[in-house]
Amino acid sequence: MGPIPEEERPLTVHHLNQLLLICSIVLLVAVAAVRVSSRSGLPSLLVYLGIGVLMGQDGIGHIQFNSAAMTQVMGYAALVVILAEGGLGTKWKEIRPVLPAASVLATVGVAVSVGVTAAGAHYLVGLEWRQALIIGAVVSSTDAAAVFSVLRKIPLPARVTGTLEAESGFNDAPVVILVVAFSTAGPVEHWYLLLGEIVLELAIGAALGLAVGWFGSWGLRHVALPASGLYPIAVMAIAVTAYAAGSLAHGSGFLSVYLASMILGNARLPHWPATRGFAEGLGWIAQIGMFVVLGLLVTPHELGDDIVPALVIGLVLTMVARPLSVVVSLVPFRVPRPERILMSWAGLRGAVPIILATIPMVNGVAGSRRIFNIVFVLVVVYTLVQGPTLPWLARTLRLGEKGEAADLGIESAPLERLQGHLLSVTVPEGSRMHGVEVSELRLPPGAAVTLVVREEKSFVPLPSTVLRHGDELLVVATDPVRDAAERRLRAVAHGGKLAGWLGTDGNRG
C-alpha cells in the first residue's frame, strides 16, 4: 500500500493543538473587541464578521471554507443558545403586557414586511419573484442577539424593550417556515395551506416549549442537586431539550426554546445568578463562533455587483417595509407615536438573516449565492447605520431618559437536609430597603436575617440594624415560607418599610 493522501489522513493531536490555538486566539480577540463595540454602540456582530472575513480566503488567513450546509447547522445550534440566553433574561413582568402586540408584530408584521420587501426587490432590483420572496422572508426577521445586546444598554420604557425583545424571540419561527417553503417549491400556490402550516408549527412549538419549561422549572425547584455548578448545566439542557422536542414533533423548535427559557428565567430557580452568568457566557461563545463562520463563508471579491441591490432592498426594508409593518401591527394597541418610530428603527438585523440565506444555497435554488451576498451586504451596512444611531433616536424622542432601580438580587440555595433555603439578598442602588431596620422587614415566622455583609465585613444583625445600599443579607427560610419571604423582601425593596400597607407587593410579574 502506498502512502495515505494528505486529505485522507485521520485527525491527530497535532491538528487538535493547532485548532485549539486558533480558536483561543480568535476568542481572545473577539472578547477584546467587545469593549470597542460597546463604546461605539455597534453590535458586536460586525467585529466578529470582520474576524471571519480576515481569516477567509480573501483575507490574511486564506482559509478555504464554502460549506453552506455546515454553516447552516452551526448557525442553528448557535441560534438555539442565543434564544435560550435571551429567554432566560426576559422579565415576565415586562413582556406580559406587550405579549399581544409582540405576537402580532412577529406574524402580521412579518407578512407585511415580506410582501413589501419582495415587491421592492422584484420591481426595483429586477429579481425573479422566487428570489425576491426569499430575500423578503430572510431579512424580515429581527435578530435576537443584536436586539438583546443593544436594547439592554439603553434605558427605554419597559413596554418598548419588552415588545422588541419578545418580537425578536418570536419572529424567527414563522420566518424560517417561509424561507424553507419558498426555497423548496418557490411561491406557494395555495397560501392558506402555508398559513395553516405556520399556525400548526407555532402551536406545537409553543405547547411543547411551555410544557418543557414548566416541568423543568418544577423539577429544579424541588430536587436539590449535589453541586451548585450543576444547576446552570441543567437549565441549558432543559432549554435545548425544548428545541429538539419541538423540532422533532414538526413544530417550531425556535419558539419552543424561547418560551421554555422564559419560563425558567422567571421561576426563581436556585443559584440563579450563577445560571445567568453561565448562559451569558455560552451566548457570547455562540455569537462569536456563528459570526466568524459566516464571515468565513462570504467571499468579499464577489460582493461588488451586489452592493447597489443590497442598498436598494435595505432602503425599502428600513424606510418602508419595517415602519409599515409596525404601524399596521400596532393599530389595535394605541402605542404612542414616539414609541412606534423607535420600534420602526429598532428592527435590527444580524446573524439570523445571514444564516437563513444559507437555506436556499443548501437547497440549490438558482441565484442563491447572489441572495446570500445581498443579505450579507444589507446586514453589514444597515447595522452600521441603525446600531449607533438608536441611542440618539431614543434621546431625541425622549424615550431614553426613563430608568428604574435595579431589581432586588436574590439567590437561593436549597438546604435539603434542613428542609429550608438560604437566600442571598443584595440591596442595589435605588432600593427602598435602604434605611429599613431588620425588624421592619417583617419577615414571616420561619424566616430570619442571619448575617449581613457590609464593606467586606460580616456581622450578625440586631433587630435595630439599619440596612444600607450594597449590603448583602443571608436569610434562612424554611420550605413553607420560602416564597413568602422572597415576596416580602421584594415588596420592601420596592415600597419601603410600609410595603403591603401601601399596596406594594413583591411579585416579579
402-437 pLDDT tens trace: 444 445 556 666 665 556 777 888 888 778 888 888
User: Do 424 and 365 fall within a single domain?
Assistant: no
Which domain CATH number covers 390? Answer: 1.20.1530.20
Q: How many helices (H) and strands (E) does the chain have?
A: 21, 5
Bridge partners, residue 466, by sequence:
437
User: Do 203 and 287 fall within a single domain?
Assistant: yes
Low-confidence winner among 23-32, 73-82, 233-242, 398-407 (lowest mean pLDDT): 398-407
Question: Which residues, including other chains, have CB under 8 Å from residue 391's CB and lie 6 or more apart?
Answer: 41, 153, 154, 400
pLDDT score recorded for residue 30:
75
Task: Tally the residues of the chain.
Answer: 509
User: Do 390 and 479 fall within a single domain?
Assistant: no
Q: What is the pTM of this model?
A: 0.74
User: Do 337 and 474 fall within a single domain?
Assistant: no
Low-confidence winner among 39-48, 254-263, 356-365 (lowest mean pLDDT): 39-48
Whether residue 301 lies inside any domain: the answer is yes
59-96 pLDDT tens trace: 676 677 778 888 888 888 988 998 898 888 888 887 88
344-389 pLDDT tens trace: 888 877 778 888 888 888 888 888 889 999 998 998 888 888 877 8
Q: How many domains does the chain have?
A: 2
DSSP H helices, 56-143, are 68-88, 92-95, 99-104, 110-120, 129-138
Whether residue 49 lies inside any domain: the answer is yes
Domain end point (choices 396, 417, 448): 396
Band of pLDDT at residue 242, cut at 50, 70 and 90: very high
pLDDT score recorded for residue 403:
45
User: Do 489 and 462 fall within a single domain?
Assistant: yes
Question: Which residues, including other chains, have CB under 8 Å from residue 52's CB and lie 6 or more apart?
Answer: 291, 292, 293, 294, 295, 296, 297, 298
Whether residue 16 lies inside any domain: the answer is no
Query: By residue range, what is the domain housing residue 493?
Result: 409-498
Q: Is the pLDDT of residue 243 over 90?
A: yes
Neighbouring C-beta atoms of residue 482, cutoff 10 Å: 22
User: Do 429 and 383 fall within a single domain?
Assistant: no
User: Do 310 and 173 fall within a single domain?
Assistant: yes
Residue with cell 418602508: 320
* 88 close to 287: Cβ distance less than 8 angstroms: no
Task: Tell which phi-psi region holds residue 15, choosing left (phi > 0), alpha (psi between -120 and 50) or beta.
Answer: alpha
* Terminal-residue alpha carbon distance, the chain: 70
Reported in sequence order, the residue ranges of 283-379 that DSSP labels E, i.e. its strands, are none
User: Do 262 and 349 fall within a single domain?
Assistant: yes
Which domain CATH number covers 459? Answer: 3.30.70.1450
